[in-house]
Each structure stands twice: as C-alpha cells, then as structure tokens.
C-alpha cells in the first residue's frame, strides 16, 4: 500500500501505549527538568552529538537547535502552566544574538535568518523584555532581508517575515503590518512560471549550488506560501487568494499519488533516479505540506490533497531519526493535529497522540544511548514536549511558526 511514496527504511513500527493526559504531562515535565538541569547560566546548553557538525561545536544559540529555541520552549511551557517557574532568562536572552554571530561569519546568505540568525533571536529578546532599540533593530533586519536571493524560509524573506508577523500581532503597530505587506509583495513578485510543470513556483539559490526548485516546507514552496496564510488577516484578500490558488495548482502538478496517499519529492528534478523515494518529514514531504498549508481554503480540492498527505504521513509512521519537529516523529504528529483542526475528525487527534507517545519512547531511548537529553526545539526533545501539550489541549499551534 502506498508503495513508491516513501522509504520504509527511514521509519519504524509504531509502538504506542494508550494515551493518558497525566502521563503526557509527566513526560513534558521530564523533558523540561532535564533541560533545566543541563542549563549552565550565562552559557546555555551543550550541543548534542547528533547536532554537531564537523568540526564539533560546543554550543549553539539559534532558535533551530540552539539555546534560543530552548528558552522559547521552556517559557512557552511555563506560560501555559504545564511546568513550574523558570530561571530568569532575561539577561541570557539579551546575549544570544551576539553569541550566535560568530557561527554565521562564513554564511553565504547573511545573518538575518529567522531560525538560524538575528531575526529569531531579536524577536525572542524583545518578547522576553520589550525594548524599542531591539524592535528597531529587528525591523531593519527583516526589511534588509526582503530580497535575499535564496528565496526560502530558512535564510530568506519567507522566514524573516514571520518575525514581522509576530510583532504586528503583538504590538498592533502599523509599521509592522506595512512591513509584512512589503515582504509579501516582494515574495509574490519573485514567483515565476516553471517550464517543467507549467505552474508557479520559486527558484532557490542555496549554498553556491546550481539553482533548485524545492517544493517542501523547509527550503521551498510550501514554506514560502505559508506566510500568506499565516498573515492572511494583515494582507489584501485578493493577494492571499491569488497565491493560494497558484499553490494548489503547483502542488497538484508535482504530487505523487498511490492508493489514497500523496507525497512530494523535495524538488523538481527531471534527472532524479527512478529508484529514489521521497522523505516523509516536516522539512521535505507530506507532513510539512500539511503543517504549512492546513489553513488553505476549505474546498474539495484542498481537502482531498491535504487529507491524502495526512494518510501517507500516518501510513509511513514514526521516523527512525527520532522525535524531532524538523525530521522526526513530532513533525508528523503536528500534521495530524492540523488535520484534526481542519476536518473535525477525531481520528486525526488519536493519531497525533499515538505518534506523540511513540516519540516519548524515542526520547528515552536516545537519552540512554547518548547519556544526555537532546536540548533543542526543532531537532530535539523540546519540540516533542510542545506536541504533547497540544495533544492535551487540542491546539495545533506549531512552535515559533504559529505561536511565539
């Protein structure tokens, strides 16, 4: 069933006990307590071996797999009341942008990045302690990144505009709404007709490689469409309708179907080996498509596409890489929550909870294997903690994207 849509070797059989709210709360507390015990005041958290590049780096500071994401997650979980009081992270949050800068010194795409660079860390700093100077610096960072030729969410405008969206919602200031509109206009202007599919998309210029045409959430099309849906209340309705209409046509043209499921290759590549199978994770593949585009218009075409993507995600099962948001089981769990909110079908909530329970087992196995927790948001244990909380409350808010 659904053969050719995913590689079973990247997944593992679902091992999930019955869902229980109290057990889920305890799992969240264990993850949070482990992170708090590993915190070194003023320094943050040591990198996990799975996150170390070559050569190894002792600590990271960004939102993605660094201290910024851990601080965000712990504050989020404390604010909703699922964990107890935290240390005062205010002075530490103020240092993260500067501490992160040396790791970006050789970046080909600048330092503005939302998940890896300045924009996300300035937003965190301002959220912890609102400050006019930090807000002005963040505004300039987002504005200066509007035309980054990378044209994807990790480094480019589709990512940094999220900081402006959060600021517009938090402050109500017209300058932030105007910046969101400016970013959306720039992003729309960079769409182009693709010769292979006859549909609209963006071309990415990443890491000095030949131009690519990515489809997924991490580096490509779905991640670029997401800001139009996320900021729909701040943008002209006609613009949102235009981009989402193009998105449906592009995703239909690039989808692979089998047995009631659908998935996407990371990008458009006519020379792809015939035996190559697409991944099923948030950054590339069906879960990320669902997580970014689940608020698309309620039409039969969108419903069919998203539900089939969810069916494939559930059929593929937990990812053997672990419990993370970006390329693990938590990302698939959030796709289930998105479809529950969209469809109202409680089966999707049950599936999200089953994946979350499985993720708890993955966290414990990795803790035993490596002798430490994986203290990061997008690649580690804290993303699963956020999924567990949303499974308890019925929210589908994806960390740092839907909520900050």
3-state secondary structure of 158: helix
**Residue 56 burial (CB count, 10 A):** 9
0.85 cut: is pTM over it? Answer: yes
CB within 8 Å of 269: residues ≥ 6 apart = none
Written as one string, the DSSP assignment of 237-299 is HHHHHHHHHHHHHHHHHH-EEETTEEE--SB--TT--TT-----SSSSSHHHHHHHHTTS---
Identify the pLDDT of residue 275.
83
Residue 300 DSSP SS3: helix
CA dist., res. 258 & res. 91, Å (int): 53
**Cα 288 from Cα 286, distance rounded (Å):** 6
User: How far does Cα 291 stand from its chain's mean position?
Assistant: 8
| Residue partners of 53: CB distance under 8 A and separation at least 6 | none
pLDDT score recorded for residue 54: 78
What phi, psi does 196 have (nearest 5°)?
-80, -35
Residue 360 has what pLDDT?
Answer: 98
- With a cut of 70, which residues of the chain have pLDDT below it? none
Q: What is the pLDDT of residues 306-331, one digit of tens each?
A: 999 999 999 999 999 999 999 999 99
Q: What is the pLDDT of residues 219-269, one digit of tens each?
A: 999 999 999 999 999 999 999 999 999 999 999 999 999 999 999 999 998
Separation of alpha carbons 160 and 183, rounded Å: 9
Predicted pLDDT at 16: 76
What is residue 85's predicted lDDT score, i.e. its pLDDT?
Answer: 85
Distance CA 288, CA 305 (A): 13
Q: Is the four-CA dihedral 33, 121, 181, 186 of positive or negative sign?
A: negative
Residue 30: count of CB within 10 angstroms of its CB: 17
- Find how far residue 170's CA is from the centre of its chain: 20
- Dist CA 280 CA 327 (whole Å): 8
The alpha carbon of residue 380 and the mean position of all alpha carbons in its chain are separated, in whole angstroms, by: 13
């Amino acid at each position: 069933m659904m053969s050719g849509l995913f590689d079973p070797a990247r997944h593992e059989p679902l091992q999930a006990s019955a869902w229980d709210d109290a057990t889920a709360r305890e799992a969240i507390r264990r993850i949070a307590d482990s992170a708090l015990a590993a915190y070194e005041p003023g320094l943050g958290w040591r990198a996990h071996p799975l996150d170390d590049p070559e050569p190894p780096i002792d600590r990271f500071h960004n939102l993605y797999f660094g201290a910024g994401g851990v601080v965000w997650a712990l504050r989020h979980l404390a604010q909703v009341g699922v964990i107890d009081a935290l240390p005062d992270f205010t002075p530490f949050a103020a240092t993260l942008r500067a501490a992160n800068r040396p790791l970006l010194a050789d970046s080909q795409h600048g330092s503005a990045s939302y998940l890896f660079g300045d924009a996300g860390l300035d937003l965190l700093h301002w959220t912890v302690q609102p400050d006019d100077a930090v807000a002005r610096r963040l505004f300039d960072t987002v504005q200066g990144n509007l035309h980054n030729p990378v044209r994807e969410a990790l480094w480019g405008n589709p990512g940094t505009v999220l900081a402006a969206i959060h600021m517009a919602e938090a402050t109500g200031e017209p300058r932030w709404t105007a910046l969101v509109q400016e970013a959306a206009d720039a992003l729309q202007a960079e769409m182009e007709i693709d010769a292979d599919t006859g549909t609209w998309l963006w071309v990415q210029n990443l890491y000095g490689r030949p131009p690519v045409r990515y489809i997924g959430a991490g580096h490509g099309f779905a991640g670029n469409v997401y800001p139009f849906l996320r900021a729909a209340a701040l943008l002209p309705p006609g613009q949102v309708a235009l981009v989402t209409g193009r998105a449906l046509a592009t995703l239909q043209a690039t989808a692979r179907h089998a047995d009631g499921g659908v998935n996407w290759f990371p990008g458009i590549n006519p020379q792809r080996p015939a035996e190559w199978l697409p991944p099923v994770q948030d950054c590339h593949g069906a879960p990320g498509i669902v997580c970014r585009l689940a608020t698309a218009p309620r039409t039969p075409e969108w419903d069919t596409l998203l539900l089939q993507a969810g069916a494939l995600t559930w059929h593929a099962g937990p990812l053997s890489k672990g419990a993370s948001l970006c390329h693990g089981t938590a990302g698939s769990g959030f796709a289930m929550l998105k479809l529950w909110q969209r469809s109202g079908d409680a089966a999707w909530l049950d599936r999200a909870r089953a994946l979350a329970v499985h993720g708890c087992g993955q966290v414990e196995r990795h803790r035993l294997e490596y002798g430490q927790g994986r203290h990061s948001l997008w690649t580690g244990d804290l993303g699963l903690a956020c999924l567990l909380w949303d499974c308890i409350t019925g929210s589908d808010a994806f960390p740092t994207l839907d909520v900050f």
